[in-house]
Amino acid sequence: MKITTRPLERIYITAFGKETIEDGIVYTFLALDDYSEYLFMLGTERVLNEKTLLNNITNLLNKKDFCKNLTNKFTLILPFGNDIKNEIDTIISSYNGNVIFDEKLVSKKFKPVFKVFKGF
């Protein structure tokens, strides 16, 4: 994959589960800008499925820090969701976005983030 040359050119999205006493596993969705390494907290969900992925993609697009800086095409890189690619395309196409699916690459990009989280 080529090197990014501007903010919001390539955005990685992931979710991770954390056991809680009250709610059981809660999933946190994060997005990472490849260029600036800015981390967006998208939301938390009690289930991890296609619907919650779509909700959190929409959450990203509604983030003030994302929208105001989005002037060119962008690519979302997701670890899952290939079976709902059409729905994702519908959401992001009006923002000039496209999507690719690469679980290994997303995992690699978030590895330093999760390393920091382990300290909490």
Q: What is the structure's pLDDT at 67?
A: 77
The low-confidence residues of the chain, meaning pLDDT below 70, are: 69, 119-120
> Which of 83, 103, 100 is CA-nearest to residue 92?
100
Q: What is the structure's pLDDT at 120?
A: 57
Could you tell me the CATH number of the domain that includes residue 65? 3.30.420.10
Torsion of the alpha carbons at 110, 96, 5 and 30, rounded to the nearest 10 = -20
- For residue 60, being part of any structural domain is answered with yes
**Residue position matching structure tokens 């967006």:** 40
Domain containing 110 equals: 10-114
* Residue 61: other Cβ atoms inside 10 A: 16
> Which of 16, 14, 39 is CA-nearest to residue 102?
14
Domain total of the chain:
1
- For residue 50, being part of any structural domain is answered with yes
